[in-house]
Structure 1
């Protein structure tokens, strides 16, 4: 069984050389996608520069990977510096839980 498909959220970390604020503003569809998934308790995955997007959109106190080690998992939000076995295992476990209903509200 392969890794889960993350859909349009992959676009969030594809432009490493642009500012996070601009990416959030210019990619309204991707922003709505992440926020809707978060509000509905769905699993979210982010890699690389996508970590900064999560930090901007999601509530303070939600644990996001620092970008230089193992992936972090907090209430169905899986983040890491790169894809690998540990990230795939964490993402698969978060997806298997189906929903994560007890999350704090996003900052936006």
Structure 2
């Protein structure tokens, strides 16, 4: 068997602990991150899936124009407000709290769409 490259041999340890134990120690944080990002994507993609469907129910033939206007307003709001909002949040909150607050605001924004016509 050829001698192992020292760089490859060191892959099995990180900070003196095995790779497996490090993964187990960080697993809960990784799962929380994955759940948070999954929730974020579900909320964000509602703009592209559920809102156009609701627009079709409410506006019929005008749904395409309403959906286009809604997406344009969404893009403009993101472009104009994102940097200012990020700067404001960075000055007042730590990262995890800012993410949680942002996800709550995104979720609450969809509440007006729940009642039927």
Compare the two structures and name the one with the higher strand fraction.
1
TM-score range, shorter chain: under 0.3
Larger radius of gyration: 2
Larger RCO (alpha carbons 8 Å, 6+ apart): 1
Compare the two structures and name the one with the higher helix fraction.
2
* TM-score, normalization by structure 2: 0.26
